[in-house]
Amino acid sequence: MESREESAVNQFYESVPKQLLRDLFVSVLTNYQQADKFTKENYPWQEGLPIRGYKRRADIEVDIRAVAAKYFNDGAKAEAEPNCTGGWYHTVLRVGEVAMVASKVRNRKSMVNKSLFMHKLAADNAQIEFSFVRTKKKVVRIDRPAPKLTAVLVHGYKKGDKSRPDFVLIRFPDEECKNWIGTIDLFAVFREVLVNFYAKPMVAADRIKAVRLRKNVIKKESEGEGA
């Protein structure tokens, strides 16, 4: 019998095309780089410090929707949904039986911040796939058809270099959204992408092939130049 983690990972891969996952991964790498570049180019570091995170988050959310649009024919759909207070939005990507949101965390062991929408999604998750686990909290019912698996794209920056993530993971929360029950490490899955992304661009030979005088050309004694 497969473990909870295996079950979640297998179910995830059944619904989400690997190419979509790859595009999301590239988008995260790109947006880390771009947000850092943007703030460094436009603001003194003091002002840029808080802006970087907001810019990165906004761009990642926009890109999740753009990537979903690219895989529309595979059933991917992403929408920005308001949170319970209506003052903040989060993008939920739905593909097949998976619902996924993105979140930045402090380190790879961290749990996502407390948020009602994640609790709701995680609760839905538990109702169906992990129903054998005893739920401690009352499950919140939501109107839309519940996905069978909830995933969170978690990422966090590298210490000392905020232009690149230290980890990008797909993680599956438990029914109370307090622990992770499964993980896909995108750095390991897309190692080649990662290497190519940060590889220094190959500098094509800018050197011109040497030209030489024809053999039969007679060189003259040096004479005064000038038109």
**Residues near other proteins, by CB under 8 A:** 22-24, 26-27, 30, 34, 42, 59, 62-63, 66-67, 69-70, 193, 201-209, 211-214, 217-223, 225-227
Minimal distance, residue 108 CB to other proteins, in Å: 23
* Dist. CA 70–CA 76, nearest whole Å: 8
Measured at the CA of 85, the angle between CA 83 and CA 89, to 5 degrees, comes to 35
- Closest approach, Cβ 24 to other proteins, in A, equals 8
Q: Nearer to other proteins by C-beta: 66 or 142? A: 66
Instruction: Return the structure tokens found at 24.
Output: 């999301």
3-state SS, residue 193:
helix
CB 65 within 8 A of CB 78: yes
Complex with other proteins: residue 59 or 97, whichever CB lies closer = 59
CB nearer to other proteins: give 12 or 25: 25
Q: Which of 155, 181, 180, 183 is nearest to 168 (CA)?
A: 155
Q: Which is nearer to other proteins, 136 or 200 (CB)?
A: 200
Least distance from other proteins to the Cβ atom of residue 55, Å: 12
